[in-house]
Structure 1
Amino acid sequence: MAVKKIVTYPAEILEAECEPVKVFDKKLGKLLNDMYDTMLEFDGVGLAAPQIGLARQIAIVDIDDDFGTIEMINPEILETNGEQTGPEGCLSFPGLYGEVTRPEYVKIKAQDRKGKYFTLEAEDFLARAILHEIDHLHGVLFTSKVTRYLNEEELEGLESE
């Protein structure tokens, strides 16, 4: 396992459309393991391949809930519903947080590390995290969706709720 370097804005790869994954091999498994280690090291709840310098459709999410770690390869959004507004940050934008409105519910189809297709439904914070990471795979940054940036005092208030 290895912790990778996080690519930070304004690196061009963060705004690039990522290539679909076609080969599901041991190297992909190692990459996913490294992404998980990297996400934990930097205290994230998700990580997309472009954030470690790879323009590939690979993302992981782990919000410490019943789902455990969700590995999404070549994910597609099948359905969204509702609306939620809440704080978001991004490992590629250290120290920057803002309010973002996203769907309350999402249904996706993706592949696992072996190439097997699965569907997943998520709500609330998990839906937010999944949509944030899928955006990364299409070069869409959370800053393009921020309605209002949050200062440190506001963030501390949110953490104590």
Structure 2
Amino acid sequence: MILEIVEYGHPALRAKGRNIEKIDRDLLQLISDMLETMYEADGVGLAAQQVGRPLQLCVIDVDGIKDRPSTMWVDGKKVALEEYMPMVLINPELELIGKPKAGVEGCLSFPGIRADIDRPPRVKVKAIDAEGQALNFEADGLLARAVQHEYDHLQGVLFIDRMSDKDRKALNF
């Protein structure tokens, strides 16, 4: 089912997500609905806050994005990205690696707005997947950026909070 993506101003976007204690039928349905919603909106990531649910849950799929490649490592070995997409991250924890670099980002909760956002180029992730299994990996490229963007949502942080003052003022935020 396609869910409504809430836009800037909705209180859920500023809410820190609650940790997920159990994976049940309702949560699996929410994950399925979030994936369907993300694909319908042509997004590469969607956090539960963006569908009005303040939970530590996001979905990501960067497979097939040729102009913004990603690399993923599991246990120090490079893996085929498509084997891990779409990705479900429950209760994720991040370790940011490297000096922040600017990269273009958009957000489904801010239709039509894109801006350069500084983020570290690489990230280590510890999370739980939809089957309740540990998911530990490193990523760079678009996947690293998407994970950081969605993780911010789970903390109630929006990409406008990471814009330069000049960009934020130009967009009236």
Shorter chain as denominator, the TM-score bin is: 0.7 to 0.9
Which structure 1 residue ranges, 4+ long, deviate > 2 Å from structure 2? 78-84, 147-150
- Counterparts of 1:95-110 in structure 2 under 5 Å? 95-110=112-127
CA contact (8 A) 1:25 1:114 kept: no
Q: TM-score, normalised by structure 2?
A: 0.82
Residues 70-112 of structure 1 deviation map (CA, whole Å, 9 limit, x = unaligned): 1100000134223321111100001111110101000010001
CA contact (8 A) 2:12 2:49 kept: yes
Rounded Cα–Cα distance in structure 1 between residues aligned with 2:122 and 2:23: 29
**Corresponding residue to 1:87 among 79, 100, 104:** 104
CA contact (8 A) 1:82 1:105 kept: no
Match of 1:21 in 2: 20
What amino acid is aligned across from residue 140 of structure 1 in structure 2? V
Q: TM-score, normalised by structure 1?
A: 0.87
**Corresponding residue to 1:77 among 94, 106, 112:** 94
Match of 2:152 in 1: 135
CA contact (8 A) 1:4 1:38 kept: yes
Match of 2:8 in 1: 9
**Aligned-residue identity in percent:** 41
Match of 1:37 in 2: 36
Gaps of 5+ in 2: 65-80, 169-173
Match of 2:74 in 1: none
Rounded Cα–Cα distance in structure 2 between residues aligned with 1:74 and 1:80: 20
Match of 2:55 in 1: 56
Q: SS of the counterpart of 1:95?
A: coil
What amino acid is aligned across from residue 29 of structure 1 in structure 2? L
Tell me how many residue pairs correspond in the alignment. 149
CA contact (8 A) 1:6 1:52 kept: yes
